[in-house]
Structure 1
Amino acid sequence: MNKISILIANYNNGRYFKECYDSIISQTWHSWEVIIVDDASTDNSIEIINEIINKDTRFKLYQNSSNKGCGYTKRKCAELATGEYYAYLDPDDALFPHALEWSVEELEDNDKIIATYSQLIFCDEHLNPKNIFNKIKQVHNNKYFFNCPIQISAFFVFKRSAYLKTEGINPELTTAVDQDLYLKLLEVGDALFIKEPLYKYRLHANGISQSTSKQKAKDSFSRVIYEAMKRRGIQEINKKPVPQTYTDAEEIYKLLEYQTGILYRLKTKATLFLTM
């Protein structure tokens, strides 16, 4: 039974970790490890997490010597992992019991895919389900796919062998870290969408998506997209030139506006249908 490494980058979210922990130990897939890297939290996260994992050797807790940021911490998680498969899980979120099993089975049944991702459910602060994020869907992967608007999200499980073919997560990033990971992995293989909720996403006041950091994340995502364009050797998109140097976010997003049009979306759906 192949092992999956659950990777958790924590910063001041210890108070939410118990439900995350409970969802992990309730998994129907039993070959797993958990790598937790704390990014120099200023709350009592370390004490809380240590008390919860209670010397369970399947959980390994590490600490950054100082606050390094999300990119550095998530990259360190991957460097410390030993499983055949990796998956990031935020410490304030949780998994459905069959999340690991269903994801790993898809990866083992299909050599052509290097990752899976699933539906997710938005939950309130107490992790009570609210609604499904209905924008996630199966994508047709090509060099012009930049996950903008977002279609690939959690629960994202990927092969270690595929990750090692990439540059890895950019340690300098503080936001758009997951998007950087998705785009790099899609350059070495395809991802399969599991049309079932496997991930519980907690909405709360301290979450990045609900704070003033949202604009910062949007700007960072545009830089991630631009770097992907350069890696892929793209000089023009939809007959518009890709700038030689990065200037601002709107210039990058305007290059991708055509991908939200009805004709483009219909063409993509038809292509995807024919290749299934």
Structure 2
Amino acid sequence: MESPQGALSGNGSQHVRSVRRAPFSTSSDERRAGRFGRPSPARSHEGVEFPFIFRRTPATRLCSSSSEAVTPTPVSILLAVYNGASTLRSAVESLRQQTWRHWELILVDDGSTDATASVATELAASDSRICVVTNDRNLGLAESLNRAFRMSSGEFIARMDADDRSLPERLSRQIEFLRSHAEVAVLGTAAHEIDSARNRIGLTTRREHHDEIAAHMFKENPFIHPSVMLRREFLVALAGYDQTLRRAQDYDLWLRGYQSFRYHNLPEPLLEYRRPSAPTWSSFWAGARVLWRAGIRESHPLLGAWGAARLLTFYVLSKAGLPL
């Protein structure tokens, strides 16, 4: 998801340049969040501080651009990659095939040790909509996405992973829906599951409407994370992803936001999604932890404990080969 030691240089093209961007949390961002009537984000829960997306740490942005000026775009796509050289080109190509052409891609190379850095530089040199951010070391998905978000300019923020592909209508369908449904802050989609040869092997869906999603928040993750498009003010209000989490960062974010913002999923598959290999104990434990934390935060510790216990029981039964 991100780069090795040192920032990418402009080896791929003499047109690649470094652009310093201010942190994304500006007064205009705060005004946007105010349009939703949301309170200022709580900067802590359970003693964990959340200043992440407001941090003024500069980062280097490499773009194929002849100007230092960066034109705002309706949608910014955040893609963090770690050792994804073999699939990154295909993922980016799926974005180039979008019917919605006006986008920017903030591509974060998260300390990769393979050829990801050179692939990323080559992609940025060939398309002015692609900007590369590099991490000196592997920081993890949450911090990489927060860094990309600080450098983005879009009214809408879309997610994407380096081993997935967006179908051509994805961006246009999601932008169209969000523009006609001002009450929805986070929008996911169904997805085709694919194998390593990119053959479609299944269909993954999620609950469609907010009330149904909210009723099942402690039972299941409501979104396929790389299918999501959300409003910029959503991440500003929630102060970004929790960088203390190496896993379940997305589930934690949805749990923190569902009582203040409305969610929705489109029923049609707009993503080809490579499901992670068999879930590990650490991934289930991370999910259980965020459920427990959410229960404490909402003054329903028994609900959090029930959700956590249910998830861990699911893991034990799956490892034992018992029916779920």
For the criterion TM > 0.5, the same-fold answer is yes
Instruction: Please state if 1:201 is matched with 2:264.
Output: no
Shift of 1:235: 4.3
Instruction: Write out per-residue CA displacement over residues 26-51 of structure 1, whole angstroms, 9 at most, x where no aligned residue.
Output: 11112211011111101110101222
Instruction: Write out per-residue CA displacement over residues 154-197 of structure 1, whole angstroms, 9 at most, x where no aligned residue.
Output: 41111001221113201121111221222223232111221100
Which deviates further from its counterpart, 228-237 or 126-135? 228-237
* Count of residue pairs brought into register by the alignment: 241
Aligned-partner Cα distance in 1 for 2:126–2:311: 51
Contact between 1:38 and 1:61, CA under 8 Å: does it hold in 2? yes
Question: Which among 222, 226, 233 is matched to residue 299 of structure 2?
Answer: 233
What does 1:160-239 align with in structure 2 at a 5 Å threshold? 160-203=232-275, 209-211=276-278, 214-237=280-303
Q: Which residue of 2 aligns with 1:273?
A: none
Aligned-partner Cα distance in 1 for 2:167–2:214: 32
Aligned-partner Cα distance in 1 for 2:262–2:296: 20
Aligned-partner Cα distance in 1 for 2:265–2:205: 13
Contact between 2:206 and 2:222, CA under 8 Å: does it hold in 1? yes
Shift of 1:144: 5.8
Instruction: Please state if 1:7 is matched with 2:63.
Output: no
Contact between 2:194 and 2:273, CA under 8 Å: does it hold in 1? yes
Instruction: Please state if 1:94 is matched with 2:190.
Output: no
Instruction: Please state if 1:50 is matched with 2:121.
Output: yes
The change in CA–CA distance for 1:147 and 1:50 in structure 2 (over 3 A counts) is farther
Aligned-partner Cα distance in 2 for 1:29–1:93: 18
The residue identity in structure 1 corresponding to 2:196 is E
The change in CA–CA distance for 1:65 and 1:255 in structure 2 (over 3 A counts) is closer
Contact between 1:141 and 1:186, CA under 8 Å: does it hold in 2? no
Aligned-partner Cα distance in 2 for 1:95–1:255: 29
Identity of aligned residues (%): 23
**TM-score (norm: length of structure 1):** 0.79
What does 1:91-170 align with in structure 2 at a 5 Å threshold? 91-134=162-205, 136-140=207-211, 145-146=216-217, 148-154=219-225, 155-170=227-242
Q: Which runs of 5+ in 2 are unaligned?
A: 1-71, 314-324
Shift of 1:147: 5.3
Aligned-partner Cα distance in 2 for 1:157–1:108: 12
The change in CA–CA distance for 1:87 and 1:221 in structure 2 (over 3 A counts) is same
Shift of 1:10: 0.6
Instruction: Write out per-residue CA displacement over residues 197-256 of structure 1, whole angstroms, 9 at most, x where no aligned residue.
Output: 0111125xxxxx215x6221111011112222233233443xxxx67xxxxxx8823499
Secondary structure of 1:173's counterpart equals: coil
Q: Which residue of 2 aligns with 1:252?
A: 308
Aligned-partner Cα distance in 1 for 2:271–2:213: 26
The residue identity in structure 2 corresponding to 1:182 is W
Q: Which runs of 5+ in 1 are unaligned?
A: 204-208, 244-249, 258-276
Secondary structure of 2:127's counterpart equals: coil
Runs of 4+ in 1 over 6 A off after TM superposition: none
The residue identity in structure 2 corresponding to 1:181 is L
Secondary structure of 2:223's counterpart equals: coil
Contact between 2:292 and 2:301, CA under 8 Å: does it hold in 1? no
Aligned-partner Cα distance in 1 for 2:133–2:111: 10
